Homo-oligomer: A and B are copies of this chain.
Amino acid sequence: MTQAQTVAELADYLGGVVVGNGSVLISGLGPLETAGPEAVTFLANPKYASKVAETSAGAVLMAPGGERYGRTAIEVANPYLCFAKLLTLFYSVPYQPTGVLPASIVSDTATIGDGASIYPGACIGRNVVVGCRTTVHSGAVLYDNVIIGDDCTIHANAVVRERCRVGNRCIIQPGAVIGSDGFGYAPDGNGYYRIPQIGIVVLEDDVEIGANSCVDRAAIEVTKISRGTKLDNLVQIAHNCQIGEDCMIVSQAGVAGSSKIGNHVTLAGQVGVVGHITIGDNVLVGGQSGVTSSLPANAVYSGSPAIPHKEWLRYSMVMPRLPELKKTVKALEKRVAELEAKLSKNSQES
């Protein structure tokens, strides 16, 4: 943690406005429920507005004009973002040695940038390029001819296979695999003939890959994750996929081969996307949905197969009442049969 600052200084740093006591000293951060008098907290979701009354925090980041229940507030347009910025401000990165550290295994044909840290037990292959100020943790393996940009963090036991390229400011969490072989086999009458996967993976700048996630190399060309996109843990991106910019792909989601995903797309947890389709920009797909055909841009989808979210919501609310509906129909059948019998009798009588 860096040294304490006053509420007024923090408001100044964030471009916000103090309402209350600007001289309170702040030395940390915390959630509404547990933040103490020397911590700043935040209110982003109006659902929790009443918790401000009970917080012990020294100051609350909140939108202008909100009820502050007598607390000291720093009013800002985006409390959540400002909280994140204060976290960055207060959190001092722990001690980190630089250079090619003892017990690391680095090919003498590799190029290691200035200020990079290659940890003990990291393995760096032939002709690899590691950018400036990039950290490669213990047990991470970079195969031959990999290129990693500047200011990246490759965490422990992550693997980047041969010839794959990683941009600047990328973070690869532990155990993630970049460039594994695509799942491509040609049936040959008996079993399966393995199709060599000779393409690569390109991660553009500011891409982050979650723990134990997998991005397969292309069959011939490039599997691409574009600038700013973040993958959560245990995500699968199959060969030849083209993922757009600033996407959020949440844990355990999977995208099958050759699919194209636009910019600013969110795939919620455990979503599955079939191969060879296209998802438009700004699409949000709800959790556990199964995308089985291309989806137009700027919309929300849910269900398996995925359909517009509102339609899905409507029918998924009716579904549990299906047995009841079935009973009603059965009763109707009986009543109609009775009516028919009656009418037929009437007409015979008349």
Contact = CB atoms under 8 A, between A and B. Distances in A.
A93 to B, nearest CB: 9
Interface stretch (A4-12, A52-60, A67-75, A249-257): A249-257
Interface stretch (A15-23, A110-118, A304-312): A304-312
Given A173-B177, A174-B177, A84 B194 contact: yes
Of A188, A212, A250, most buried by chain B (CB within 10 Å of CB) is A212
B120 A121 contact: no
A91 interface: yes
A159 B139 contact: yes
Contacts of A138: 105, 123, 125, 141
A278 interface: no
A339 interface: yes
Q: In the complex this chain forms, how many copies of it are found?
A: 3
Given A121-B141, A144-B94, A270-B272, A236 B233 contact: yes
A100 B211 CA distance: 28
Contacts of A304: 288
Q: Which 9 pairs from chain A and chain B are nearest by CB? A: A180-B211, A123-B138, A141-B156, A159-B174, A84-B195, A177-B211, A81-B186, A214-B233, A211-B214
Interface of A: 29-31, 34, 78, 80-81, 83-85, 87-88, 91, 94-95, 103, 105, 119-121, 123, 125-126, 137-139, 141, 143-145, 155-157, 159, 161-162, 171, 173-175, 177, 180-181, 183-188, 190-196, 198, 206, 208, 210-212, 214, 216, 219-221, 228, 230, 232-234, 236, 238, 245-246, 248, 250-252, 254, 256, 269-270, 272, 274, 287-288, 290, 292, 303-305, 307, 311-312, 314-316, 318-323, 325-326, 328-329, 332-333, 335-336, 339-340, 342-343, 346-347, 350
